[in-house]
């Protein structure tokens, strides 16, 4: 599958998120501990917000561990909200347009998981995308189609409801095509000010997802840990797997849950049901 992280908080150098942790996302691109596959080398992507509402993207088909440009940029770019993703293809071509995160106006979306037997349902799913949005689909992944379906079903007005309607539709189409468990996903989506993350699967056995513990609490628990001094109190992370083996630093997101992260506010965990 894939591995991803979503950060929001005070500005931090990108390398502090992608390279510095002992189990950094770049490390997970070649040695993931909790993923369905250990190697996630079919490309990577970074999406972040700067001086405009439209996020920037840096996408590549190179393995993250072998991309010098990523290393150089990460040492220079400061972010206060960023999505980062390393890809392990489940069948889609290794091409730039299939790398996450996907962008639509001010929105970013990334996904770990799959729609099993996707070719059986691809046509019907694509035809359900709003005709205005249909020409914007650039790649061939189930992940991008899920994004544009969610937008078609109201993501921009109510993200949890839009994602729920998308999942409900995919499950209906999949089951009619004989797919027993049509959806496997951990998804993150942001409008640039709030991040929503979802852990859900039709089978009830979803890919791993964690959210970080309050940084000030961790500093009190680990006063001699230098890594914690590079993160502000308002730092919030949602990750496919923990970035470090600090007891109490990471909380597993329960099955069928939506995590809502607003800058400077405690994470909110909501039940998610299509």
Tokens 């630093």 appear where?
A: 249
- How many C-beta neighbours within 10 Å does residue 219 have? 15
Residues 6 or more apart whose CB falls under 8 angstroms from that of 201 comprise: 113, 181, 183, 184, 185, 207, 255
**What's the pLDDT score for residue 90?**
80
pTM for the complete prediction? 0.94
pLDDT in tens, 5-58: 999 999 999 999 999 999 999 999 998 998 888 899 999 999 999 989 999 999
Among 37, 131, 51, 14, CA closest to 86 = 37
Among 157, 171, 97, 72, CA closest to 185 = 171
At 94, give phi and psi (nearest 5°).
-85, 95
**What's the pLDDT score for residue 244?**
86
Instruction: Tell me what the pLDDT averaged over the chain comes to.
Output: 93
pLDDT tier for residue 214 given thresholds of 50, 70 and 90 = confident
Topology (CATH level 3) of domain 3-271: 3.60.20
pLDDT in tens, 146-190: 999 999 999 999 999 999 999 999 999 999 999 999 999 999 999
At residue 75, does pLDDT exceed 90? Answer: yes
Among 213, 216, 210, 187, CA closest to 274 = 187
């Amino acid at each position: 599958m894939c591995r991803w992280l979503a950060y929001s908080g005070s500005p931090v150098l990108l390398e502090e998120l992608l390279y510095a942790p002992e189990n950094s996302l770049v490390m997970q691109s070649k040695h993931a501990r909790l993923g369905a596959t250990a190697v996630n080398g079919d490309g990577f992507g970074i999406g972040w917000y700067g001086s405009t509402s439209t996020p920037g993207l840096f996408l590549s088909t190179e393995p993250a561990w072998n991309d010098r440009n990523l290393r150089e940029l990460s040492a220079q770019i400061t972010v206060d909200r960023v999505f980062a993703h390393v890809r392990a293809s489940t069948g889609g071509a290794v091409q730039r347009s299939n790398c996450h995160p996907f962008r639509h106006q001010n929105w970013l979306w990334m996904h770990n998981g799959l729609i099993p037997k996707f070719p059986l349902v691809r046509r019907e799913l694509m035809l359900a995308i709003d005709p205005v949005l249909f020409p914007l689909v650039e790649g061939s992944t189930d992940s991008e189609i899920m994004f544009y379906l969610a937008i078609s079903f109201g993501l921009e007005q109510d993200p949890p409801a839009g994602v729920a309607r998308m999942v409900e539709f995919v499950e209906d189409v999949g089951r009619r095509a004989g797919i027993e468990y049509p959806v496997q996903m951990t998804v993150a989506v942001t409008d640039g000010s709030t991040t929503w993350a979802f852990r859900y699967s039709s089978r009830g056995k979803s890919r791993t997802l964690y959210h970080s513990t309050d940084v000030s609490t961790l500093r009190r628990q680990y006063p001699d840990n230098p890594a914690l001094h590079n993160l502000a109190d308002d730092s919030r992370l949602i990750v496919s797997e923990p970035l470090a083996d600090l007891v109490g630093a990471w909380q597993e997101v329960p099955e069928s849950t939506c995590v809502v992260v607003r800058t400077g506010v405690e994470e909110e965990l909501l039940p998610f049901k299509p």
